[in-house]
Structure 1
């Protein structure tokens, strides 16, 4: 029973997390604008604020989309987690409060952990990565008798 529901659970997790990241990226890109986002990053003491702003927005928009479709999940998970760990260091420092309602790092830590967990989960049967890997596996199985015959 769990094996049947696992792809659906992973799909729900990927889509929800992807939507959250895309919403945050879209807010930085569209509502605030990249100049305002870079200025905000500069005010927070983030190094190379313009480059960092584009890196963060790219991660949230592209990485969030990658999560939703289940493509290149380990890369997406690492990219998104790195942005969240950067936010944890620069915006919600560890010496501050834990809970997000107090300005703490609880939320960004959770997002980083879930991005990594989903990124290295394989995404389930309903992910592009799984569909592609299954086709590669099928191709290898088809080639196995040929390799065995060529060795004889």
Structure 2
């Protein structure tokens, strides 16, 4: 029964985690705007804030979509985990694990990104479909 549920559970986990990243990245573009995000990044001491703000926003949008689809999972998982470690280092870390604006959610997102990234995403992941296709493709000389 666990084996039968695994693909659906992994899909639901990918959708939930991916949606969180997608929305946060979208907010950096649409709600705050890149100028506002850059200003915030500068205020918390993120180096090269003018480069980091659009890069992080794009990573969170594209990475969120990639998680949902199950595409490039190990790469996306590592990049999103690093993104969250940066958020802990520059924004949430000083607030403690569970205090106001603490880093508990950010740490959970980092761990979840790595976990999903290195599970292979399950049978309903794009990565799995591509690998399956490659393994069944006829060999031509």
TM-score, normalized by length of structure 2? 0.94
Tell me what 2:62 maps to: 62
**Inter-partner Cα distance in structure 2 for 1:103 and 1:97:** 8
**Inter-partner Cα distance in structure 2 for 1:109 and 1:98:** 9
Tell me what 1:15 maps to: 15
Superposed CA deviations along residues 48-69 of structure 1, whole A, max 9, x for unmatched, are 0011111210111000000011
- Match for 1:123 among 121, 124, 133? 121
**Inter-partner Cα distance in structure 1 for 2:70 and 2:96:** 34
Superposed CA deviations along residues 74-132 of structure 1, whole A, max 9, x for unmatched, are 11111111110000000012x54111x52221111100000010011100010100000
Q: Is the aligned partner of 1:84 residue 2:118? A: no
TM-score, normalized by length of structure 1? 0.88
Q: Is the aligned partner of 1:97 residue 2:96? A: yes
**Inter-partner Cα distance in structure 1 for 2:102 and 2:82:** 17
Gaps of 5+ in 1: 148-152
**Inter-partner Cα distance in structure 1 for 2:95 and 2:29:** 28
Runs (4+) of structure 1 exceeding 2 A deviation are: none
Gaps of 5+ in 2: none
